[in-house]
Structure 1
């Protein structure tokens, strides 16, 4: 038996490899997607941390500026109040005080805003304009004032100025200290420097700070400071105070950028602007590509190792299946002596054990079928012999029935002849009665006629005797036919018993075939055909039984009718014998005494009545004979039908015998 080269081990290995590839691919894809999402989340977190760092630096710078301003302002106020408390002023005193205190500039101003004393001779005579900050002190609107650090237009240095009014209110004292170090420190901690240093990092594309007017106050590219960045992210941050993150494609830079925008708040919680941090996703994409490459390499290594392990496991698992398949091939060819040797304790071992049990059951079933088939073959032969014997008996019955029918027909003919003779005698008696006077005168003629009538009566007696013998033969034949029908009924009972036994055997064979499953389907069909033939045999036997019963009933009726006819014939014979004796008496009486002609006339009248009754009886015998002939013909027809049924049963038995032989041939294909 040829088997497909694609074994189950290869199929399992193929399916497992496909599933493994799908699983590894799915896991790799999900891992890469998860890692990519994590990298983007990390990038967002880093961007937010850098933005928060800038915000913190801005916050700290604001605090530092406020602290430095407070320190410088207090220092200026203390120094200015100390100088304002002096009783007299001179340029030399102020120069000496400048050297000792480190104050860069000390000016004493009169009420008109003109410098009258100074440690710097060039300042003497300078008049402050109306917009100068010191005018507020000179005019008395403020007691003291401190200006912001500003750059000198003369020496480009940074100074911080402050002043207070004189004790007598006649003017004011202005002090200026050098703020180069403070400005340098402030510049070092400025938002622009922080943004610019952050913008120099590898993954940062840009960073900038905008105020509420969307103007860039600090930018990683100093050339962009002052530009307007009025975009959706900046508007959401400044106007709604919402964070904004996302990836967009920059056509200007030709790359994808991850943007993080956060609002900036002052100490009062008011939004003063926004910080925008643009990060390059190239590093993430490079990391993802590297991760995909490493994942593919690792997946390939895992796949190869898994395939090797799975191949070994599948081969070890498929080995018992191959052994089981080899055994089933031999069993499929009919060799039930093959033993299945699979020692595994898993489902395959259980399957092999179950299959072995099934083979044993099939083997036992085949043995039982062989025994049953042999018995059926023997029964079939006996049944065929019985059917043939039944056919022979039916043929004999048919012949006997035909003879009975012929005898009945002859009886009808003879009865008609007797009837005719009786009618003739009756007519003659009537003539005798009618011509009794002529008989009186012509005694001799009447004697001759009486003698002639005596002779005819003897002939009629002989005919009645023949009818009697024919009736006895018909009665004996009908009794023999009834006995033969009873024998046929017994044979039909035997056929019924054999058919029922065959039907029972077919039912048992069907049950065993059903237990055998697929292996017993063919025998199920054979068992079904046998059961159908058995049922047909039973039906045919029932029909034969019915016909035999009808034949027996009709035979009994015919026997009764023939017996009645025989009884009537006996009576007629007795009457004829009496008539003969009467004729003898008449002859003797005529010879002895003609005076008795009147009595003879009366006797003849009685005799005429008797002949009339005899004619009626003969008519009844005719009807009975006709019925006997008709019944005999029906018996003959039933016998012919019985012979046809017997021939059909014989044919069915021969077919059954052929099926049994074919079943034996099929069973011989199995080795047990």
Structure 2
């Protein structure tokens, strides 16, 4: 249908030269148009004036007048010549227009085939030349717009690929964050449950250290070490309280025996004093009683020696108890350090959560930028008109993808907020545990103070018992002297009566001293009972080899 020749312009673009083809019946018009162009090249001014519309009308009138005159005169040859010239002149004008129309038709068909770069060889200076150049410029502009649309489409495809990558990264980050959040949430709930049971008094509970999170594993290990130390301290304190109570009971029993013996001595000496006047008649009976008294004094001396040994042991035990209390205080200090370390680990966990939050903010910023790029792409597609409709669909998909990414980041931020709340709850529980440790430390310090008082009392008891032992020894010696003097009691009855009064007074003093010792031992027993009651609030039981310790702390 048409012949097209392709050449290269100065910019290297493919340009089609428009060259219309004609059928045999159209060659007359092509020949006329060619002749008209040649005339135009030779006589541009004449042709330009002739082609003027007004001049054409006037020329037609001018031709019609001589034709009419020739017909009237009967000169048909002249009429034929005029009509021939007119036909030739009209053919040249119409032929050129026909060639122009064919050229424009070929240019339109070229554009319809998708070739927007073409060149019309005909160079005209009239309105038709302007039409040629305008059509070429319009086609070139359309080609540029299509190229821009293609570039925008490629840019949109690249943006879509980047958005797909961003969505994949966001999805992976979301899944990773959800996995970490689920693991931390489960582990935090388990730790919270175990800590609640420990706070209720079950010291056999332990935190599971088998976790992928290093911070949580360190918290569990530190917490378990603290519980082991606390359980050992409670067990030692309970054993020490039992020992003090046992020693106090033994000392109280010995004091009762001493008191009874002293009462017996006092009664015997009162009988001696009351029977001094009858001593002469009852010398034999007095001798027998003095022998009995000597035996009793020996028993008292032996008992006093045993009490002295027991009091000395109690004093040694008190020193050991004091050392154990100091160790308990050191253990409490270690527990405080472990609690502080656990609180530091929880703070480290909160910092890790902040880092995850920063990553989510970065993803959210990428999604916002992607949304902005999609909006710009939609604007460019709208400018491209119908040629950018496909690109607009891609831009809308990119925008939807960016919105989905933002929704995913919002969900991740919600999960991080829950993690932060759980971390804060864990911190509060650690603070509560630290308060419990402080309360336990105060209780131990109170027990240590009372234990110091008990130790001081035991030392006083030991000193009193030693005095009783010395007094009993002296009493035994005096009794031996009395037995030796019984043989001469008749001669010195008055002296014996005086001596009996003196012995009676000594017996009363001994009874009073024994009563004081007994009261002191009873006070020691009472304080030991108080210490035992205080430690009973920490019920400790050991099973097997003592590897497991269960303790119940009653508030």
Q: Please tell me the TM-score bracket, short chain as reference.
A: 0.3 to 0.5
User: Which protein has greater RCO, CA pairs closer than 8 Å, 6+ apart?
Assistant: 2
Larger strand share, 1 or 2: 1
TM-score between both structures, scaled by the size of structure 2: 0.43
User: Comparing both structures, which one devotes a greater share of its residues to helix?
Assistant: 2
Between structure 1 and structure 2, the one with the greater Rg is: 1
